[in-house]
Structure 1
C-alpha cells in the first residue's frame, strides 16, 4: 500500500516594510530604460556628457595609486574618508568662501548617500521635511523612505518664496529644509542672494536644519556666483552642505561629501558605518591624486563652455518646438531647461507618442511633492551636440503636432 504524504501548506512570507512598499521607483530611470534605443535623442537623462570626461587623467590617477600604494588603495579605509581627499575638499570649499577643516567633511558614496544618511540621522517617521516645489526626485524618495511627511514650499521663477517658507516653518515645525539653490534640478533656476539671506534668517529664528545640495554649482555659464546659503549669518551652524564629483569629474566614481557641524557629522558617520562602512578607498585616493596633479577647475571651465553652447542651442529652438503659449526657464548654468506647456497639455500622457518620434523628455509631475503640474517637463541639454539638439527639437515639434 502506498502512503501519500499530505500536501504541505506553505506559510506566506513576511511582507515588505511599509516604507519599501509605499515608495515607488524613479520615473526618470524607467524612462531611460524605455528610451535606450540609439536612434532616440534623449533629453530625459540627468547624466553628464561622457565624451567630456577626463578619462586619461582619471586613468593616470588610478594607475599611480595602484602602482605606488596598492596595499593601501585596496584595503579598508576609515568611515569619515581618506585624509588626503578630505583635505582637498576642505581647501576647495574654503577657497569658495566657507571656511572648512578636513574634520568638517564626511566622504559619501555619491551625494545621494549623503541625503540618505541625513534622513537616517535626523528624520523620525512622521517628521516634517520642507522641499522646493518642484523638487529633486531622489530627495523625495530618500525622505519618503525615512517616513517623513514632505511639505512643498511655493516657488516662483526665482525659487522659494521666503514669506511662504516662514509661514510653513511656523505651522509645521519641520526637522529640515532641503534645497538645491543653484541651477536647481529640475527647474534650472537659481535662488538670488537676498532670498538666501532670508532663508538663513528663518532657519536661525525658527530653529530648523538646512540641507543645501550643490551638485551643479560649478557649472556656471554666465553671471556672478551666488554664495552658498551656509555662508550667510545664522546659517553656518545649522546648514549641511552636500557636494559631489559626479557632474564635474565622473559619476561612476560615486564620490560625494557632506560638510556639517560636528555632532550631526558624527551621527552621519555612524549611519554610514551601518550602510557601507566606507566609500571605496581606491576611488578616494585616485580622486585625491587627480586633484593634486590635474587642473580640475580648468577642466570644469572647458566643460561649462561646451555645455553653454548646448544650452544656447536648446534655448534657440525651444520656442518653435513647444506649443504657442509655453514658457521656460533660462538657466545660467547646470544641465536642465524646465518648460511649462499651456493649460490642457499633459506631458505624461503625451510621452508615449513623443518617444514614437524618437525623442524623449521627463514629464514634470513626479517632481512635485504637492499637487503636480502635469503641463511641465524637464529637458537635459548636456549630452547632445547642438545639431543633435536641433534635430531633437524638430522631432519634438512633430510629436506635439504643432
Structure 2
C-alpha cells in the first residue's frame, strides 16, 4: 500500500514493543507508565455510574457537545479552582485523555518543518505525535530542577518555535519538578518572545510530601499577558482511571476554538457516559481521600525503590529521588567496568525476569544510551525489593 508520507518519520513505540516481552511467567515489570489498578476507587466509580444513569441517563447515553459535557466542565472548573486556577467552564474543553489534547495542539499548530522545543528527555508519545505532523523537534536539556531556562531562552531565540512543550511537575520519564523560580522565568520567556508554552500536567496531584509549586497556568495571574501564551493539558487518568479516558485542555480562546473544530473531525466528542461518570465522581467529594491514599502508597513504593537501588546497584547507578509522580529516571555510570549501556542492561534484566525501559527513545535528539526509566507504581514493596535484587544480579 502507498501510505501517507507523514508516516515516514515515525515508528512504533519502543515501550509498546517491550510489552510483548512481558508475557513471560514471573516477570516483574518496572516498565509501564500505568497507575496501580488496586488504587482505583471502584466503589466510588460504581456509585458515580449508577447516579449518572439514575439522574441523567439521557445526557450520559446520548451524543454530546464536542466541547464537553457541561456538568463535567463545571466540575473540572471547580477542580482547577482548588488548585489555584480560575477558569470558567467554557474556558476548557474535554478531551479523550490528555493525549488527545496534545494531538489537537499538534493538528492546530504544526505545519511541516515547524520547530517545536521539548525537554530532553520527554514523553515518548508526544515526540511521535509532533513528528507525525511534520515538526522539527529541538531538545532543551534538563537538570534536577527541570528544564534549563537559560538554554531554553537561547533555543527560543535561535529557532523561533511554534511552541514549547513541558511537563513541569514530576515529568515522564524524568520525574523532575521545575522549580518555582524557573516556572516564573518560563512565563517571562513566553511573553517576551511571544511563544506558546504547552504545560502537560498529568502527574501534578501525585506528590509525596509538600505540594509542588503552582502550575505554570496558575502563575499566569502574576505575569501580565501570560495567559495568552499558555495551554494547559490535564487528565484524570493517573488519579482516577485511565479507562475513562477523560482529559481536558485550557488554552487561549482562539486555540481552543480551532482545537474544538479539529476534535469534531476525529471523534465528535469524548464519551458522554465516561464524562457523566467523572462529573458525578468529582461532585461526590471522594477525590481528596482517593488522592491521599494514592500519594501515601506511591510514596512508600518510591522510598523502597530508592533504597533498594542504592543497596543493590550502588555506584553503578545515579538517580534523583522523585518527590512525586510514577517514575525514577536513572543513569548507568559504568563504574568498575560494569554495564553502562541501558539497552544491553535491559536484555540482561529480562533474562533475570525483570523489565524496565531504556531511556534513549525519550530523547528527540542526541539520546543518552546510559539512561533508563523505572516505574514503582504497579509493584508493591516486596515486589520492588525482589525486582531490584534481580537488577543487581543482571548488573553482575
Shorter-chain TM band:
over 0.9
**Are the counterparts in 2 of residues 81 and 107 from structure 1 also a CA contact under 8 Å?**
yes
- Quote how far apart the aligned CAs of 1:323 are: 5.5
TM-score, reference length from structure 1: 0.94
Rounded to whole Å, the distance in 2 between the matches of 1:301 and 1:71 is: 34
Which SS does the other structure have where 1:225 is aligned? Answer: coil
Partner residue, 1:124:
111
Q: Which residue among 359, 366, 370 is the counterpart of 1:371? A: 366
Q: For 1:210-263, what per-residue CA distance to the aligned partner results, in whole angstroms no more than 9, with x for missing partners?
A: 000000000010134201112241432210110000000000000000011111
- Quote how far apart the aligned CAs of 1:38 are: 4.4
Q: Which residue among 238, 256, 267 is the counterpart of 1:247? A: 238
- Quote how far apart the aligned CAs of 1:320 are: 2.8
Q: Which residue among 228, 250, 259 is the counterpart of 1:237? A: 228
**Are the counterparts in 2 of residues 187 and 329 from structure 1 also a CA contact under 8 Å?**
no
2:342 paired with 1:351: no
Rounded to whole Å, the distance in 1 between the matches of 2:187 and 2:5 is: 35
2:256 paired with 1:292: no
**Are the counterparts in 1 of residues 30 and 354 from structure 2 also a CA contact under 8 Å?**
yes
**Are the counterparts in 2 of residues 351 and 360 from structure 1 also a CA contact under 8 Å?**
yes
- Misfit runs of 4+, over 6 Å: none
- Quote how far apart the aligned CAs of 1:65 are: 1.6
Partner residue, 1:44:
31
- Quote how far apart the aligned CAs of 1:92 are: 1.4
Q: Which residue among 129, 138, 142 is the counterpart of 1:155? A: 142
- Quote how far apart the aligned CAs of 1:97 are: 1.4
Rounded to whole Å, the distance in 1 between the matches of 2:18 and 2:331 is: 19
Rounded to whole Å, the distance in 2 between the matches of 1:269 and 1:351 is: 42
Judging by fraction of residues, say which structure has more helix.
Answer: 2
Rounded to whole Å, the distance in 2 between the matches of 1:125 and 1:72 is: 39
**Are the counterparts in 1 of residues 119 and 165 from structure 2 also a CA contact under 8 Å?**
yes
Rounded to whole Å, the distance in 2 between the matches of 1:69 and 1:224 is: 35
Which SS does the other structure have where 2:328 is aligned? Answer: strand
- Quote how far apart the aligned CAs of 1:21 are: 3.1
Give matches, 1:235-384, under 5 Å. Answer: 235-322=226-313, 324-343=315-334, 345-384=340-379
Partner residue, 1:228:
215
- Quote how far apart the aligned CAs of 1:107 are: 0.2
- Quote how far apart the aligned CAs of 1:382 are: 1.0
- Quote how far apart the aligned CAs of 1:326 are: 2.1
**Are the counterparts in 2 of residues 109 and 256 from structure 1 also a CA contact under 8 Å?**
yes
Which SS does the other structure have where 1:324 is aligned? Answer: helix
Which SS does the other structure have where 1:248 is aligned? Answer: coil
2:20 paired with 1:25: no
- Quote how far apart the aligned CAs of 1:87 are: 0.6
2:96 paired with 1:109: yes
**Are the counterparts in 2 of residues 323 and 342 from structure 1 also a CA contact under 8 Å?**
no
Which one has the largest radius of gyration? 1
RMSD between aligned residues: 1.2
**Are the counterparts in 2 of residues 182 and 188 from structure 1 also a CA contact under 8 Å?**
yes
Q: Which residue among 154, 168, 171 is the counterpart of 1:184? A: 171
Rounded to whole Å, the distance in 2 between the matches of 1:291 and 1:165 is: 37
Which SS does the other structure have where 2:126 is aligned? Answer: helix
Unmatched segments (≥5 aa) in structure 2: none
- Quote how far apart the aligned CAs of 1:180 are: 0.2
**Are the counterparts in 2 of residues 323 and 341 from structure 1 also a CA contact under 8 Å?**
no
Partner residue, 2:85:
98
Rounded to whole Å, the distance in 2 between the matches of 1:265 and 1:287 is: 22
Q: For 1:294-337, what per-residue CA distance to the aligned partner results, in whole angstroms no more than 9, with x for missing partners?
A: 42011111111011000010011101333524210111100001
**Are the counterparts in 1 of residues 199 and 216 from structure 2 also a CA contact under 8 Å?**
yes
Which SS does the other structure have where 1:98 is aligned? Answer: coil
**Are the counterparts in 2 of residues 359 and 396 from structure 1 also a CA contact under 8 Å?**
yes
**Are the counterparts in 1 of residues 177 and 212 from structure 2 also a CA contact under 8 Å?**
no
Which SS does the other structure have where 1:289 is aligned? Answer: helix
2:384 paired with 1:389: yes
